[in-house]
Every structure is written in structure tokens, then in C-alpha cells.
Amino acid sequence: MLPAHYAQVREIYNLGIATNNATFEREAPAWEEWDHSHMQSCRLVLLVEGRVAGWAALTPVSGRCVYRGVAEDSVYVHPDFKGRGFGKLLLRTLVEASEQEGIWTLQAGIFRENHASIRLHEACGFRLVGVRERIGQLHGQWRDTVLMERRSNKIGI
């Protein structure tokens, strides 16, 4: 992912936000904020005829050095490109890239109702850790998230 891709990445992120089943965020941030909060490596875009069809990136879960190998994933696919396996391609590629960067645990917090994302993560080797009930509010309504993780079979063993 290059800074030049961010306008399309942001559009896809905002489309995900509009579903009310992708994130607690209410609006995709400006590039500078997004760039600062995400790892410099492990940023992917999937281009179809020059158009960003989807993106994936990692956010560190903590600034503490003991958690340097733990990150949270984000995977978004533009609605025009859903159902083509692009989410799985992005997440599998993200897993590979994360291991090259020494990441031993990937985690995902997914709204309980987002069955497609839960299935995607399961298909890419994530397991259910638990359900975080009433973890946060979105538009005044309490929401539960499913916590999933994938432990590397290459790093940290």
C-alpha cells in the first residue's frame, strides 16, 4: 500500500463503517492518522485493473516490547468485489507477510453478527478465543465482539 492508494482505501473503509458491522469507528481517519496507527510493514492493497478492490493491514496491540509480535488485522473488500475470494487472498497474504516480520500472534475483534468475517478468519487458521460481551457502544447500542487469534507455526515456537 502506498500513500497514493489511501483515497480508495479510505473509501472502502468508509463503506465498511456504513454497514455498522465492521468497526466501532464512525469515519475513516485522514492518511496521517491512519499511517501513524498502523504498522509500517504488512500493508496490502489488491488492485484490479488499477482500482483498489480491497486492503489489509496490521495494527500493533501494544507499545510494550513483550507484545512486539502481536498485531490486530484489518481486512476490507469493496462491495463491488465481494464474493470473489479477495478477502481470503488478502488475509492469507497478510499472514505470510506478518510472519516475515516476526509476528507470532494475529488477533481480530469481529462483531458477533459479522458471520462472513468470522468464516474468513476461520478459513485462514484463526480460532475463537471468546466473546467480549457489551464491549462497546455503536450508535448508542451495546455490541459484542468475537475475539479470534491465529498463532504462527513458524514464529515463536
What one-letter code names the amino acid at 137? Q
Answer whether residue 27 shows pLDDT above 80: yes
Nearest to 19 by CA among 74, 73, 78: 78
Mean pLDDT of the chain: 97
- CB 125, CB 92: distance < 8 Å: no
3-state secondary structure of 87: helix
Answer whether residue 64 shows pLDDT above 90: yes
Q: Is residue 68 part of a domain?
A: yes
109: domain CATH number?
A: 3.40.630.30
**Predicted local confidence at residue 25, as pLDDT:** 95
**Domain extent at residue 12:** 3-151
Q: How many domains does the chain have?
A: 1
> What cell was used for 63?
507499545
- Chain-centre distance of CA 45, in angstroms? 12
pLDDT digits (tens, 9 = 90+) for 96-148: 999 999 999 999 999 999 999 999 999 999 999 999 999 999 999 999 999 99
Q: Is residue 76 part of a domain?
A: yes
Answer whether residue 156 shows pLDDT above 90: no
Mean pLDDT, range 6-31, rounded to an integer: 97
Percent pLDDT > 90 in the chain is 99
**Predicted local confidence at residue 113, as pLDDT:** 97
d(CA 148, CA 43): 20
**Predicted local confidence at residue 157, as pLDDT:** 74
Q: Is residue 44 part of a domain?
A: yes
pTM of the predicted structure, to 2 decimals? 0.95
Q: Is residue 157 part of a domain?
A: no
